[in-house]
C-alpha cells in the first residue's frame, strides 16, 4: 500500500493513519497528518508483525497523543526518516 502526497486532518474521533497488524509493504510519504482527537496518533501501526514499512518526508503535527508510533509486536525492515513531527498544544 502506498500513501503519497495525502492530507489527513481533523479527525475528532481517532487517529490519522491507522493500520492494525500484521502489516507488510506500506509506504507513507510526503503527506500531511494533523489535528486528530483525544488519544489519537498521527500515524500508528499496531499489533503483530510490521515489515517493509517506510514512513518518510511527512509533516505530522498537532495530534493529541503521538506523532508516529509503531506498537505491540515485532518489526523488520522499518525505515522512519526525514519527518517533521510536532505534537503542538494538544497533549
Per residue in 6-39, pLDDT tens? Answer: 999 998 878 899 999 999 999 999 999 998 878 7
Distance CA 81, CA 60 (A): 12
Q: What band does 87 get if pLDDT is binned at 50, 70 and 90? A: confident
What residues have CB less than 8 Å from 13, skipping those under 6 apart? 37
pLDDT of 91 > 80? The answer is: no
For the segment 47-86, what is each residue's pLDDT rounded down to a tens digit? Answer: 999 999 999 999 999 888 889 999 999 999 999 999 999 9
The whole-model pTM stands at: 0.90
Amino acid at each position: 500500500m502506498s500513501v503519497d502526497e495525502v492530507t489527513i486532518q481533523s479527525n475528532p474521533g481517532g487517529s490519522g493513519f491507522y493500520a492494525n497488524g500484521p502489516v507488510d509493504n506500506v509506504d507513507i510519504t510526503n503527506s500531511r497528518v494533523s489535528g486528530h482527537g483525544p488519544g489519537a496518533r498521527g500515524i500508528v501501526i499496531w499489533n503483530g508483525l510490521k515489515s517493509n514499512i517506510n514512513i518518510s518526508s511527512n509533516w505530522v503535527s498537532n495530534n493529541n497523543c503521538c506523532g508516529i508510533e509503531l506498537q505491540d509486536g515485532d518489526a523488520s525492515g522499518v525505515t522512519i526518516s526525514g519527518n517533521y513531527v510536532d505534537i503542538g498544544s494538544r497533549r
